[in-house]
Structure 1
Amino acid sequence: MEKKSNSMLKHSMNYGLIMGVSLVILSLIVYLMGILKPPFWVSIINWIIVIAIIYIGSKKYRDEVLGGAIGYGNAVGYGVLVSAFSAVITSFFTILLVTVIDPEYVNKLLVVVEEEMVNKGLPDEQISAGLEMSKKFMSPIFMFFSGLLGSVLTGLIISLITSIFVKKEAAPFKDQVIE
């Protein structure tokens, strides 16, 4: 049993790395395009990456490591681990982006938030209060931990769904010899 949990950890780390790097590349493309408020198509690509990697990784783990059988709970756990490893990578990238690559990034985002509030016709007092609240949520530490939590929760939800399609019970009499 120890070997299986070890292999789950190693396998999920590999797929978490693939997912994390893929999401960082997508974020870099969006950043380099100068897009502060990503359009809907970016979210679609993000979801496709996450769903595909959790599904493919779970299926490969089931088939290549576990011999073709995995329970629903183990499949969910595997997907959450993949998401957790990916979340660490993407959260570190976010910290790197807002502190080293572009220290003015948060201020640029706040300008976009302010413009949206003005376009909605909110009074100045609400805009000021909203910007102050937004500043608190855009601190690097808060962004790191909220990124971790959000990614893991998203991974849990996706894993709950993909595991329905990945789970496969072992044949009950597979190892028995008939004489």
Structure 2
Amino acid sequence: MEKQGNPMLKHSMNYGLIMGVALIILSLITYLAGIVKPPFWVSIINYAIIIGIIVWGTKKYRDEVLEGAITYGNALGFGVLITLFAGVIVAVFTYIQITLIDPDFVSKMLAIAEEELVKRGMPDEQIEMAIEMQKKFMSPLIMTISSLLGMVVMGFIFSLITSIFLKKEKSSFAGDSEVIE
């Protein structure tokens, strides 16, 4: 008998790939539209993609692989794995975007941050200190790592919530075929 790999890992990688590609497409659309600092509605679409793919992937995994039953913990873990794989893909893209596609990205972001600080009426010395501090956190490596960590944290939070609705446990009183919600 041939041993198969971990189905949870395989399925989470597949849905992570779908999520990562969808998020990259959204990022490319905003970049090609010339939007340096995306508006709030772009964040809403971003969150909808993440939540939608966590729900879709977890539901398909539950129904097709686990025969309709999944614990809260497994649903949570599956959602986090999806976003971990998507996060790796998005992080690699972020690094490529910052270093190859748009090497001026960091300077554009710093200019926007400086404009916002000037609008707030901050003194020049404080603005200069704030921009210098932001420069330290805007290296390609740090932005790539924070992109990955941000995706995983977001995936964890969204999975905490979605798992409540997606969990279905097998009844211990009925036969194996009955599932309770």
Common topology (TM > 0.5): yes
Aligned residue for 2:160? 160
Aligned residue for 1:133? 133
In the TM superposition, what is the alpha-carbon distance from 1:174 to its structure 2 partner?
A: 2.1
The alpha-carbon distance between structure 1 residues 5 and 125, as it changes in their structure 2 partners (threshold 3 A), is farther
TM-score if structure 1 supplies the norm length? 0.94
Q: Which ranges in structure 1 are unaligned for 5 or more consecutive residues?
A: none
Whole-angstrom distance in 1 between the partners of 2:5 and 2:124: 55
8 Å contact kept, 2:79–2:159: yes
Q: How does 1:29-178 map to 2 (within 5 A)?
A: 29-172=29-172, 173-175=174-176
The alpha-carbon distance between structure 1 residues 4 and 44, as it changes in their structure 2 partners (threshold 3 A), is farther
Whole-angstrom distance in 2 between the partners of 1:116 and 1:78: 40
Whole-angstrom distance in 2 between the partners of 1:148 and 1:175: 39
Whole-angstrom distance in 1 between the partners of 2:160 and 2:87: 18
In the TM superposition, what is the alpha-carbon distance from 1:148 to its structure 2 partner?
A: 1.1
8 Å contact kept, 2:22–2:49: yes
TM-score if structure 2 supplies the norm length? 0.93
Whole-angstrom distance in 2 between the partners of 1:47 and 1:80: 14
Whole-angstrom distance in 2 between the partners of 1:53 and 1:162: 11
Whole-angstrom distance in 2 between the partners of 1:5 and 1:126: 55
List per-residue Cα deviations over 1:128-159 (Å, max 9, x = no partner): 01111111111011111111111101100000
- 4+ long deviations beyond 6 Å: none
List per-residue Cα deviations over 1:5-62 (Å, max 9, x = no partner): 8000000000000000000000000011111111111011001000000001000000
- Matched pairs, number: 174
For 1:32, the aligned partner's letter is: L
For 1:149, the aligned partner's letter is: L
Whole-angstrom distance in 2 between the partners of 1:93 and 1:129: 30
Whole-angstrom distance in 2 between the partners of 1:41 and 1:175: 45
8 Å contact kept, 2:15–2:57: yes
Alignment root-mean-square deviation, CA: 1.5
The alpha-carbon distance between structure 1 residues 35 and 146, as it changes in their structure 2 partners (threshold 3 A), is same
8 Å contact kept, 2:16–2:85: yes
For 1:84, the aligned partner's letter is: L
Whole-angstrom distance in 2 between the partners of 1:82 and 1:175: 28
Q: Percent identity?
A: 63
In the TM superposition, what is the alpha-carbon distance from 1:4 to its structure 2 partner?
A: 9.1
8 Å contact kept, 2:91–2:144: yes
